[in-house]
């Protein structure tokens, strides 16, 4: 069965010339995009494009389908613009504050979908620390912000979750544990440590403190997660990082789960002045 995402993907792939760039534009992984395109061709019973030197080149029938897909998506956008206009959403700006990791991973697909649904609403994203997000929300300097681990009583719209994991050099004694190996936080904090913060107040030091522990030997403190991975590879120490920050290339690294899992939650929260904004309500609608 084909849906609107399939048609947006097809247009994006044939416009950009590659499956990878097209997938990125619509917020999909390359493997998922390849499967979706194959399913489209199987459903239609025709080949829509050919791969040539990593490029996606439309076939003759693919060009005809592409033309009709553009008309269909254009008509849909017209309908949404008229509906937005009737709801007072035709134009507007949403100011959004987020810390770097979420801004680079979880938000792009969401904002891409929102732009497709409401092209008249501009989202201006600001990259700040998690502490600054809270301050900007309190001062009504932004409309919405990404909040880390929001309190249960707070009105928040969840974006996603991940877990904290231990990162060790391959030669480390704890790295010899089995494929499902786990490590206790108490074991980890006594090791020579590479402390990475990612610009957030919630990090390995605060997690240790919450558990009644402390980092015994911090060799170096860095902001960027990538710097921490490089230093761990060099054997400078171990680290504790969020799962979403792990690099694709993990050569030289051993990843272990914590014996008692510790999660992070990410959610969008609006400021007091934005609570009645129709544009903000439309953004939250996509998350509910």
Please report, for the chain, the start and end positions of each structural domain, with discontinuous segments joined by +: 4-86, 92-159+266-285, 162-262
Whether the Cβ atoms of residue 162 and residue 246 lie closer than 8 Å to each other? no
Long-range contacts of 139-142 (CB under 8 A, 24+ apart): 140/271, 140/272, 140/273, 140/274, 141/95, 141/97, 141/271, 142/95, 142/96, 142/97, 142/271
pLDDT at residue 227 tops 90:
yes
Residue 178: what pLDDT? 63
> Could you give the percent of the chain with pLDDT greater than 90?
33
Per CATH, 92-159+266-285 and 162-262 having the same topology is answered yes
- What local confidence, expressed as pLDDT, does residue 57 receive? 87
The domain defined by 162-262 carries CATH number 3.40.190.10:
yes
- What pLDDT sits at residue 52? 80
CA distance 284 to 110: 10
Among 52, 56, 74, smallest CA distance to 7 is for 74
Assess contact for 119 and 84: CB atoms under 8 A. Answer: no
What's the CATH code, domain 92-159+266-285?
A: 3.40.190.10
* pLDDT per position as a tens digit, 120-169: 888 888 888 888 888 889 888 899 999 988 888 888 999 888 899 999 99
Take residue 102 and report the two structure tokens written for it. Answer: 């979420």
User: How far is residue 167's CA from residue 162's CA, in Å, rounded to a whole number?
Assistant: 15
Fold of the 4-86 domain: Arc Repressor Mutant, subunit A (1.10.10)
Average pLDDT over residues 71-91: 70
For residue 122, the model assigns a pLDDT of: 86
**Residue 72: predicted pLDDT:** 87
How confident is the model over 173-178, as a mean pLDDT? 82
**Contact residues for 161 (Cβ-Cβ < 8 A; gap 6+):** 263, 264, 265, 266
Question: Looking at the whole model, is its pTM more than 0.85?
Answer: no
CA gyration radius for the chain? Answer: 23
Judged by DSSP in three states, 79 sits in: helix
- Residue indicated by tokens 């003759």: 60
Query: Rounded distance, CA 125 to CA 110, Å?
Result: 12
How would DSSP label each residue in 49-78? EEEETTEEEE-HHHHHHHHHHHHHHHHHHH
Give the number of residues written for the chain. 288
Q: Choose between 104 and 188: higher pLDDT.
A: 188
pLDDT at 90 over 60: no
Model pLDDT, residue 225:
92
Distance CA 238, CA 127 (A): 28
Out of 3-17, 198-212, 224-238, which region has the weakest mean confidence (pLDDT)? 3-17
199 conformational bin, left if phi > 0, alpha if psi -120 to 50, beta if neither: left
Among the listed residues 147, 149, 146, 184, the one whose alpha carbon sits nearest the alpha carbon of residue 166? 184
Compute the CA torsion angle 43, 47, 53, 55 (nearest 10 deg). -70
pLDDT digits over 184-196, tens only?
999 999 999 999 9
What is the rounded CA–CA span in Å between residue 59 and residue 64? 9
For 247-273, the pLDDT digits (tens) are 988 999 999 999 999 999 999 999 988
Tokens of 284: 């939250």
Long-range (24+ apart) CB contacts under 8 A made by 151-154 are: 154/269
At 80 the pLDDT is 67
Render pLDDT for 6-56 as a digit per residue (tens, 0 to 9).
888 888 888 888 888 888 777 677 888 888 888 888 889 999 988 887 788
- What is the H or E stretch that residue 242 is in? strand 239-242
């Amino acid at each position: 069965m084909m849906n609107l995402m399939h048609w947006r993907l097809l247009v994006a792939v044939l416009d950009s010339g590659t499956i990878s760039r097209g997938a990125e534009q619509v917020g999909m992984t390359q493997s998922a995009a390849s499967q979706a395109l194959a399913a489209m061709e199987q459903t239609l019973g025709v080949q829509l494009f050919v791969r040539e030197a990593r490029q996606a080149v439309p076939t003759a029938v693919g060009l005809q389908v592409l033309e009709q897909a553009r008309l269909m998506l254009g008509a849909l956008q017209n309908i949404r613009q008229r509906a937005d206009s009737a709801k007072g959403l035709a134009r507007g700006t949403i100011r959004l504050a987020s810390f770097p990791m979420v801004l680079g991973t979880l938000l792009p697909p969401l904002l891409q979908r929102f732009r497709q649904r409401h092209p008249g609403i501009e989202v201006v994203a600001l990259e700040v620390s998690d502490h600054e997000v809270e301050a900007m929300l309190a001062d009504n300097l932004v409309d919405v912000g990404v909040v880390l681990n929001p309190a249960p009583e707070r009105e928040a719209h969840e974006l996603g979750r991940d877990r904290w994991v231990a990162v060790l050099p391959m030669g480390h004694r704890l790295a010899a544990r089995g494929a499902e190996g786990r490590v206790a936080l108490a074991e980890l904090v006594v090791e020579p440590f590479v402390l990475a913060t990612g610009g957030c107040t919630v990090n390995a030091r605060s997690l240790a403190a919450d558990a009644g522990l402390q980092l015994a030997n911090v060799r170096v403190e860095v902001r960027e997660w990538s710097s921490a991975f490089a230093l761990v590879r060099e054997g400078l120490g171990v680290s504790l990082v969020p799962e979403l920050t792990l690099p694709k290339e993990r050569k030289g690294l051993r990843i272990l789960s914590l014996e008692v899992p510790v999660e992070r939650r990410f959610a969008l929260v609006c400021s007091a002045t934005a609570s009645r904004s129709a544009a903000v309500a439309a953004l939250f609608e996509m998350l509910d």
